[in-house]
Structure 1
Amino acid sequence: MPGGRLSHQDRREIAAGLADGLGYAEIARQLDRPTSTITREVARNGGAHGYRADHAHHVTAARARRSRPEARSAPRTVDDRHAYVERFAQMMVEGGLPRMASKVLALLYTSETRSLTAADLVGELHVSPASISKAIGYLDQVGMIRREPDPHRRRQHYIIAEDVWLKAWDISARTNLNWAETAAEGAELLGPETPAGRRLTAMADFFHRLSDDMSGGTGFQVIEDGLVVLATVWNHNPKQVAKELGWPTERVDEALEYARKAKEGSTAASAG
């Protein structure tokens, strides 16, 4: 039902819609689901070009099992916590973040306090101040942490940014785009018909598709623009929108909330 968990059959219909070239909004309409639900489902499970219904259903079920309280065991000792920080950091390294930046981020996430200072990080990670400074500089530059001055001492506290994982996603998308553009440049330089050129062209195509999927693609931008216009034209009036479209009010509420966030993002981007 709308708002409930996606079923195996729902995921098969999503896969069929993607294979037919349908946009996220059209697939959502056919399933009577919010567009944001379809967007997240596809993005989490291989993107528009790699989505597989059976695999997505299996992975989601496994994720749900891991999230149950009885399936989790919190670290109980200092050694357990340190081991967990190392595993958490390694996961981020494998996702593309620099190693020391990953350790700093993992430590900030698992700290019992709201923030940590550079001295705290040096003491916890047993590394040089220069290593911490470099990692903090990177995380600050990409917007994954923010600085907060200490009102009583000449030092700064470091806090995880609220949209840290959106920033990480954006970094990954931009990294894939850089790979694609560099490969395309090499193919043109060496000649697209040469063996090296063909390999680089295939690489460029792959990373262009991956970057496009992570960014939501052109179709996603059109959907977002449409929602922004919808929110503006109807002045955020869910009941009027629901009446005109023949939708449940709850569906319009969620769409307009998404539209408001999209509009705020567009306004912030324009201001920047």
Structure 2
Amino acid sequence: MPGGRLTIEDRQHIATGLAEGLGYTEIGQRLGRPASTIMREVTRNGGPDTYGADRAHEATQDRARRRRQAQPPTPHAPDSGHGRDPQAVQDLTESFTALLEQQGLPRMVARVLTCLYITDSGTLTAADLAKRLRISPASVSHAVTFLEQQGLLQRERTPGVRHERYVIDDEVWLRTTLASLQMNDALAAASQRAAEILGVATPAGARFDTSAEFLLLVSESLRKVTEQWPQNMAARSARREQ
């Protein structure tokens, strides 16, 4: 999937798609972008009825200039040493945050998740996050709550220590995949039920029947991945001990 910011050519394609009456999903498919990216772009630049490529591009550049003037660069994490190039770390932070945004995460949530992800310890307090990202404690709280609900981080509290810590570990994507598997199973079961009620011989029933078949195939693949992953981790640990 293409990464980075939308170009003027991308915006011209969006404007053309809107003029043709296409939905966000169809426009996104043409550009290789998530529908959520197209929706945010159109919504923040006047909506589908008044969206203009040149005007949207200029407005985006103006917003970027104002952000650079209003906020100094995000300070590097204190544990970003190990001979790393600070500029490369900064570029990584920005590109990974942008990628998470393209996957549908709100920008503040994406920034918090990236900040935790690139930290060697994988553990930060709310105060740490607020200081590193230069955001308010309330913003940290909202982002952390969202990430916890998605299974992307965990809270830890050490006895006798006032502040809790937020932790991201090697199981983060496993937990997320398991949550996706559970939702996928629920959608497959609902689709099967809908096909039975509507009748698989009808267009609507056949649509649900086809959906159920696809969703079951996805669940089967995800289940195999979650079963294989512990074996991969065990092999990785064995190699480290050699």
TM-score between the two structures when normalised by the length of structure 1:
0.42
Higher helix share: 1
TM-score between the two structures when normalised by the length of structure 2:
0.47
